[in-house]
Structure 1
Amino acid sequence: MTDAHQHAAAAAFDAIGGDYERAFAGSAAHEASLVRLLGGLAPRSRVLDVGSGTGRPTAHTLAAAGHEVLGVDVSSVMVELASRRVPGAAFRHADIRRIPLEEGSFDAVCVYFSLLQMPRGEQRSLVRRLAGALRPGGHLVLATVPLDVEDVDAVFMGQEVRVTSFGPEAFRELATGAGLVVVDEDTAVFTPAHPGAVPEPHLFLHCRREAARPGT
């Protein structure tokens, strides 16, 4: 995201704080996605949680299962909440675009709804970088609201935000264009537990980085 997008996202989620967790705590599809991810991880896997929010449910679930979790979020309020609520994981207040990502350094990367305030070009660039940060055979979970919208004004949990997303097919192409293989997907309609919330579609893609071929 541009600096303006980054500052806007940070301000919005600083203001939302713990209300985000309460609004989305009932997402059975998110929980099912985490169960699926856990089923494919070796013990003590290293996991990057992009846009880690309050740390629940993602970082909490993974850390409780014995994995080494690093959460990154642009919101200082979210990082403070997560550090208190999930002491078994590490959290960093930072812009994921600006963090060096070592090739093959993670067993899994989670990106649950954290691309929506980035321009499309930056979403593509980031997913490519995250795919490269996976070890061969590693897992990358992407989740979004699959709508064909670009830089539109919206109100999210009382905060004015600008949203960009992809339709379902284009979102799959976002993953495959980064060199990932989509091995499973799930769709759901979820209504956040927040005044004025409306049902929204959710799309979850479970992807793998192809294992290195002999001689590569």
Structure 2
Amino acid sequence: MRHEDQRPPAAVLFDALGADYEKAFAHAPAHLSALEWLIERLPPTARALDVGSGTGRPTAAALIEAGHTVLGVDVSPVMVELATRQVPEAEFHCGDIRDLPFEADSFDGVCVFFSLLQMPRAEQSALMRRLALALKPGGHLVLATVPADVEDIEVTFMGQPVRATSFSEEDFTGMVEAAGLTVLSRHSTTFAPDHPSATPEPHLFLHCRRDETGR
């Protein structure tokens, strides 16, 4: 049995938050809009990957409702248990996305909503390159982050201490483009999570495509 301090920090954080995270974020308008954008561009019965799938709602649930197949990956056992119960039609895997192998050209769509923030910048960049290759040519990817020029700083998130790393908006966009994706549009907003310990935070959403000839 691993000691608590040996578990991935994201697992510790999201095990503690559980269903409170869904309540705080599930109805964020920009998140729902990004999901709608992706679903409109997926082929029928598409295969989608949800990175940091959380409780399964709203992302996996919306994709399943639209008739697609979903693989969700989350490092938190509590989140995976909740997602499996709430969206039983999807497949959820408990593990670190950085450790999982993916075949090239295997997904029609990929979602990466706020799931990079506890990774070093080099690991965020490496993961984005792997996800771009896992996406079929012509496939689409939506992702979101909290844009900020910070590295390994301690913050309080929904009452829980956490260390976070991010990029400025321009640098984050550049990192995604360097991974082999075309950023078709981006949307910046401020969102106040529905939680007594939460404060308004900036959110950046990118709508991307892997071009037919791009690598």
Q: Is the 8 A contact 1:5 1:118 kept in 2?
A: no
CA deviations on 1:166-190 (whole Å, 9 max, x unpaired) are: 1100010111100110011111110
Taking structure 1 as the reference length, the TM-score comes to: 0.95
* 1:1-216 paired onto structure 2 within 5 Å: 7-212=8-213
Larger displacement relative to structure 2 (190-199 or 123-132): 190-199
Q: How many residues align?
A: 211
Q: Is the 8 A contact 1:48 1:69 kept in 2?
A: yes
CA distance in 2, matches of 1:147, 1:209: 25
Q: Which amino acid aligns with 1:80?
A: E
Q: Which runs of 5+ in 1 are unaligned?
A: none
Runs of 4+ residues deviating >2 angstroms: none
CA distance in 1, matches of 2:193, 2:213: 40
Q: Which amino acid aligns with 1:53?
A: G
Q: Is the 8 A contact 1:135 1:209 kept in 2?
A: yes
Provide the secondary structure at the position in 2 that maps to 1:210. Answer: coil
Q: CA deviation at 1:30?
A: 0.5
CA distance in 1, matches of 2:155, 2:19: 20
Two-structure CA RMSD over aligned residues (Å): 1.4
CA distance in 2, matches of 1:137, 1:144: 23
Q: CA deviation at 1:5?
A: 8.5
Q: CA deviation at 1:25?
A: 2.2
Q: CA deviation at 1:161?
A: 0.7
Q: Which runs of 5+ in 2 are unaligned?
A: none
Taking structure 2 as the reference length, the TM-score comes to: 0.95
Q: CA deviation at 1:196?
A: 2.5
CA distance in 2, matches of 1:100, 1:126: 11
Provide the secondary structure at the position in 2 that maps to 1:114. Answer: coil
Q: Which amino acid aligns with 2:166?
A: S
Instruction: Identify if the C-alpha distance between structure 1 residues 60 and 76 changes in structure 2 by more than 3 Å, giving closer, same or farther.
Output: same
CA deviations on 1:128-165 (whole Å, 9 max, x unpaired) are: 00000011011111100111111000111121110000
Q: Is the 8 A contact 1:51 1:74 kept in 2?
A: yes
Instruction: Identify if the C-alpha distance between structure 1 residues 5 and 155 changes in structure 2 by more than 3 Å, giving closer, same or farther.
Output: farther
CA distance in 2, matches of 1:101, 1:41: 19
Provide the secondary structure at the position in 2 that maps to 1:104. Answer: coil
